[in-house]
Amino acid sequence: MRHSLAAFSLALAGVVTTTPLRAQHCRPPLPNGPQRIGLSVELRSEFSTYRTTRYEGEYQGLILGLGWEHPWVGVHAALPGYRLTRNGPETHGLGDALLQVRVPFARSANDTLSGGAIMAGTVPSGDTARDLGMGHVMLMPGFWVTARADRSFLAAQVQYGRALGAHATEHGSDGTSPIVNPMNPSEVELGLLGGADLVEQFRLLGGLNAAVPVSVTNGVERAAAVVGVELTPLAWIDVGTELQLPVLGNPFLARTAIWVATRF
């Protein structure tokens, strides 16, 4: 517990004192609200407890996200680093990096409805032996659609995740590894995110992340509910927090995150 509090304090200090996209650590981010043109930088800190058939413990992650948005293309990247405990002993290291390109193919005149295609992927920058990475490339093509009103939005995203490489299907075939971001070697992924501005500069968020294995013998279905809030104290900065709780499978027991993002 002492190590967890220390890690939390350091991560929080990094978030508060850095002036930097909203980036899920190894999941492409959903559009959340009006499109923000230009460069964005995010620092996100995650804290999670977990239990698998092999290990139990906790991990803390610090994720740096970078993004660039144009009316007809968006590019996002994220690199996570973790402190992970497995049955007591702890380890530190990078996780798998994420790269995403999002291209809108339709948009209404007033931007209340938009949709497009995604090509995302992770690269094996995390150590497989320490449960920090998958050890192979993961490609995640898909589609997204977003509906917006004056004070609310709803976004949906569907992707197919596929592991690449000669030994890709040997790792994580049961959908429980790596610990920091478990994935099946072949799966359909669904993301839903909605938000409403309760008052000016205060947004309530809610959603669901889910995955279903495809053509995998020992695959694992999983889903997690998400609730959070986002603040926009200044026109160029966002601050938020969220709680994720599993409703299907066991990707984690509970996970919380805080983030701060800025755009130029």
Write down the pLDDT at residue 22.
42
pTM of the model: 0.83
Sign of CA dihedral 184, 246, 252, 261: positive
Cβ count near 47 (within 10 Å) = 17
Q: What is the DSSP letter of 247?
A: E
Q: Would you state the structure tokens that stand for residue 75, as one six-digit string?
A: 């590019």
End-to-end CA distance of the chain: 38
Residue spans of beta strands (DSSP E) within 149-236? 152-163, 186-199, 202-213, 222-234
Write down the pLDDT at residue 234.
80
Please enumerate in sequence order all residues whose Cβ is within 8 A of that of 238, keeping only pairs 6 or more positions apart, or say none.
22, 230, 231, 232, 259, 260, 261, 262
Torsional class of 135: left (φ above 0), alpha (ψ -120 to 50), beta (otherwise): left
The identity of residue 226, as a single letter, is: V
Please enumerate in sequence order all residues whose Cβ is within 8 A of that of 109, keeping only pairs 6 or more positions apart, or say none.
none
Write down the pLDDT at residue 35.
55
Q: What size, in residues, is the chain?
A: 264
Q: What is the DSSP letter of 170?
A: G
User: Tens place of pLDDT for every residue, the chain, 264 residues?
Assistant: 433 333 333 333 333 333 333 444 444 455 544 456 789 999 999 999 999 888 999 999 999 999 998 888 999 999 999 999 999 999 999 999 999 999 998 888 777 898 999 999 999 999 999 999 999 999 999 999 999 888 899 999 999 999 997 666 666 666 678 899 889 999 999 999 999 999 888 999 999 999 999 988 888 899 999 999 999 888 789 999 999 999 998 889 999 999 999 988
Write down the pLDDT at residue 242.
96
Write down the pLDDT at residue 94.
97
Residue spans of beta strands (DSSP E) within the chain? 38-51, 56-70, 73-85, 90-94, 97-107, 113-123, 138-148, 152-163, 186-199, 202-213, 222-234, 237-248, 254-263
Domains of the chain: 2-263 (2.40.160.40)
